[in-house]
C-alpha cells in the first residue's frame, strides 16, 4: 500500500481532519477541488436538517505549497459549524459544575450497543460521535485529492443511484456519458422517470416517519489493464475496492460488474470474450466482469454497486433496552436523514478514487508526478501492440 489515509474528529466536535500520506510531489491540488466534492456529498433529496447547518469547506493545512503537493503528508481540516451548539457537551475539558444527560437507550441498527460494550461506557454518545456518517466528509475530501491525481492520468470516477426503496432505474450503458445526467438530478439518478419515482418513495417514507435505503453504482473510466495483483489476497483490487465501499456507514452489500447475477448463469453466458484487431487492439463486446479479473483491472470500465440499508434513526423509534435500568424502552433519536443514498454515492466515488490512486502509485511509483507519468507512458508503450490508449 502506497497511500495511507487517516481521519479524525467527532460528528459534533470542532472539526474533522484527514491526513493523506504517500502522494507524489508536484500534483496540482486546491481547496476548491475538495469543496466541489464536499458540496456534492451534502446534496440530495431526503437529506436532513444537519445539511442546512453545515456548509463544508476544506482548509489545507499541510503538504501543499503554491498549489502543488510537496510529497509530504497532506492534512485537510473541515470545521463543524454545528459544534457551536454542542461546545459544552463535546468539550475536551471537564465542564465544572455541569453533568450532561447520558444516552443509555441504544438505537437498533447503529453501533451504539456494540460500542458501549466494547469501550466500557454507559453513554452511547461516546460511541456515536465517531461512528456517525459525518466522518465520511473527511474521506470525501481525501477522495477529492486522489481524484486530482487520477485526472492527470486520464482516469475519471463517477456515480449514479440505481435504486431507492422499491423504485429502480433500468440498466443503462457503462460509459462516462451515461453517468453525466446524475450530476443534475436531485437523487443522482440518470433516468428522469425513475428519479421522480424515487423522490415519491422518499417523501412517502418521510411522511410515515420512516427511512429508505437503496443501491448506487460507481464507475471508473480510463483505467489501464494490470492495476492490482493476483499474487496475494490483500493485493487483489476487487477485495480492496469492495472493502472500501463496505466501510461506508450503512452499506451492507457490494458487487463487481454483474456480481450476484453471475451466480445463476452458465459460464458461457458469464465471461467477456476477447477479440483483436490490428488497429484498435484488444476489445471485448461485454463487461460482465466489471473491469476486474483475478484481482486486476482488465482495461474495461470499472463498475461497482453498493447496497445501503435504511438509516436506523427513525422519527418513530424502535424498541430497545435501557442499559442502565435494563427496562424495555424505545431508542433515543438523533437528527437524521430520510434517505442518504445519493450522498453515499458521492462518498463511494471518494473511497474508490483512493483505492485506484493507491493502485496507480503501486504500479508506476515515483516521488514526483513527472516520475508517475513517465512510468505510465513506458508501460503503455510496452503493451501498445495489444492494448491501445493515447497519452
Tell me the angle at which helices 341-364 and 31-42 cross, rounded to the nearest 10 degrees.
140
Burial of 271 (C-beta count, 10 Å sphere; 0-12/13-18/19+): middle
pLDDT given at position 390: 58
pLDDT tens per residue, range 12-35: 999 999 999 999 999 999 999 999
300: left (phi over 0), alpha (psi -120 to 50) or beta: beta
Q: Which domains does the chain have, with CATH numbers?
A: 4-95+102-382 (3.60.150.10)
Average pLDDT of the chain is 94
CA dist 380 and 255 (Å) reads 29
Collect all residues with Cβ–Cβ distance below 8 Å to 320 and sequence separation of at least 6. 105, 106, 107, 108, 113, 328, 329, 330, 331
Query: Does an H or E element contain 320, and which?
Result: strand 319-321
pLDDT given at position 361: 97
pLDDT tens per residue, range 162-192: 999 999 999 888 999 999 999 999 999 999 9
49 pLDDT above the threshold of 80: no
pLDDT tens per residue, range 330-354: 999 887 889 999 999 999 999 999 9
Amino acid at each position: 500500500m502506497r497511500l495511507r489515509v487517516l481521519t479524525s474528529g467527532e460528528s459534533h466536535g470542532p472539526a474533522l481532519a484527514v491526513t493523506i500520506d504517500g502522494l507524489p510531489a508536484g500534483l496540482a491540488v486546491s481547496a476548491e477541488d475538495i469543496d466541489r466534492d464536499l458540496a456534492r456529498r451534502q446534496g440530495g433529496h431526503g437529506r436532513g436538517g444537519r445539511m442546512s447547518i453545515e456548509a463544508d469547506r476544506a482548509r489545507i493545512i499541510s503538504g501543499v505549497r503554491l498549489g502543488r503537493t510537496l510529497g509530504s503528508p497532506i492534512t485537510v481540516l473541515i470545521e463543524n459549524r454545528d459544534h457551536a451548539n454542542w461546545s459544552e457537551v463535546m468539550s475536551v475539558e471537564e465542564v465544572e459544575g455541569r453533568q450532561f444527560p447520558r444516552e443509555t437507550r441504544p438505537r437498533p441498527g447503529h453501533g451504539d450497543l456494540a460500542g458501549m460494550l466494547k469501550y466500557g461506557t454507559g453513554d452511547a454518545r461516546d460511541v456515536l460521535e465517531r461512528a456517525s456518517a459525518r466522518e465520511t466528509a473527511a474521506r470525501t475530501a481525501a477522495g477529492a485529492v486522489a481524484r486530482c491525481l487520477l485526472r492527470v492520468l486520464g482516469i475519471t470516477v463517477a456515480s449514479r443511484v440505481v435504486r431507492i426503496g422499491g423504485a429502480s432505474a433500468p440498466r443503462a450503458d457503462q460509459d462516462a456519458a451515461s453517468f453525466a445526467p446524475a450530476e443534475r438530478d436531485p437523487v443522482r439518478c440518470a433516468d428522469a422517470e425513475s428519479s421522480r419515482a424515487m423522490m415519491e418513495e422518499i417523501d412517502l417514507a418521510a411522511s410515515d416517519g420512516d427511512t429508505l435505503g437503496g443501491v448506487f453504482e460507481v464507475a471508473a473510466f480510463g483505467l489501464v489493464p494490470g492495476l492490482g495483483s493476483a499474487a496475494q489476497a490483500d493485493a487483489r483490487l476487487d477485495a480492496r475496492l469492495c472493502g472500501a465501499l463496505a466501510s461506508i456507514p450503512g452499506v451492507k452489500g457490494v458487487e463487481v460488474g454483474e456480481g450476484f447475477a453471475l451466480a445463476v448463469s452458465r459460464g458461457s453466458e458469464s465471461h467477456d470474450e476477447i477479440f483483436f484487431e490490428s488497429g484498435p487492439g484488444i476489445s471485448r463486446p461485454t463487461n460482465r466482469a466489471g473491469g476486474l479479473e483475478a484481482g486486476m483491472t482488465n482495461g474495461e470500465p470499472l463498475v461497482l454497486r453498493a447496497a445501503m440499508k435504511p438509516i436506523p434513526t427513525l422519527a418513530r423509534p424502535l424498541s430497545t433496552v435501557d442499559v442502565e435500568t435494563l427496562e424495555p424502552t424505545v431508542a433515543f433519536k438523533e437528527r437524521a436523514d430520510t434517505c442518504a443514498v445519493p450522498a453515499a454515492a458521492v462518498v463511494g466515488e471518494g473511497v474508490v478514487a483512493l483505492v485506484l490512486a493507491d493502485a496507480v502509485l503501486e504500479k508506476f511509483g515515483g516521488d514526483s508526478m513527472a516520475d508517475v507519468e513517465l512510468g505510465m507512458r513506458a508501460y503503455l508503450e510496452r503493451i501498445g501492440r495489444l492494448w491501445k490508449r493515447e497519452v
